Amino acid sequence: MTDILIADDHPLFRDALQRAVLTAVPQARVHSADSVHALLGLIEQFPDAELLLLDLHMPGARGYSALAHIRGQHPGLPTIVVSGHEEAQVARRALAHGALAYIPKSSSGEEIVAAVRAVLDGDTWLPSRLLGAAGELESGEAAAAAQLAALTPQQFRVMTMIAEGLLNKQIAWELGVSEATVKAHMTAIMRKLGVNNRTQVALIASQLAIEPGAMQPLPADDD
C-alpha cells in the first residue's frame, strides 16, 4: 500500500489534492495535515511514505523553511510543492531546495495528476508555463537551508515559533512542555545556527521567506 502525505491548511484545496492523488494512485492511503507541526508527526508515523505534497503557506511554515527542513531530515521523501504563487522565481527556488515538482494552485486536476505520476515514476514536473525554471540558491539562502536541515523536528517547531514572535511561555504552552525545556531547545538551536539570540534565529528563518522583507520586532524574552 502506498502512503502519500498532503500538507495544506485549506480544506477545499486539500480535498482537491486528495482526489487527484487517488486518481493517480487509486490504491494509495492518503494522510493529511493542516500545519507543519501536524505534518512532522505524520512523517514520524509513516516513515516509509512515498510522496509528500507540501503547501508553502501554512501554520508553522515560513516560505521555504519547512521544505528545507524536511528535505534535510528526510532526503528520501519525494516532495511536490503546491503554492498560490505563479512566479517562475518561486518555482525555481522550490526546486533548488529539493522539490521534484511545483504545482501552482491554479493548476487543473489533470495537471496535478500528471505531477504526482511523474514524481512517483522518478521524474520531475513543472507546468509548461514554468518550464526552464530550474536554478541555484544564493549562498546565504543555501547556508540558512543547511542550518535548518540540521535541527531536530522539535527544534524546528520551536525555531518557527520564535520567528513568529512567540514568547518562551507561549511556546511551552503550544508544545505542552515546560519553559525550561523550551530554553534547552533554544540553547541547542542557537548553537546549531551559530547565533547568540532569538532575533538572530528569526533573521536566519527570514532568509527562506518567499518575499523577504522587514522582520517584525520580536518581544524580549529570557533565552
User: What does the pLDDT look like over 72-82, one tens digit per residue?
Assistant: 889 899 999 99
Given a contact cutoff of 8 angstroms between Cβ atoms, the answer to whether 116 and 24 are in contact is yes
Whether pLDDT at 202 is above 90: no
* Per-domain residue ranges of the chain: 3-130, 139-206
Q: Give the global pTM.
A: 0.78
Tell me the pLDDT tens digit for each residue of 5-47: 999 999 999 999 999 999 999 999 999 999 998 999 999 999 9
CATH number of 139-206: 1.10.10.10
When pLDDT is averaged across residues 87-100 and rounded to a whole number, the result is: 86
Q: Please give the CATH topology (third level) of the domain spanning 3-130.
A: Rossmann fold (3.40.50)
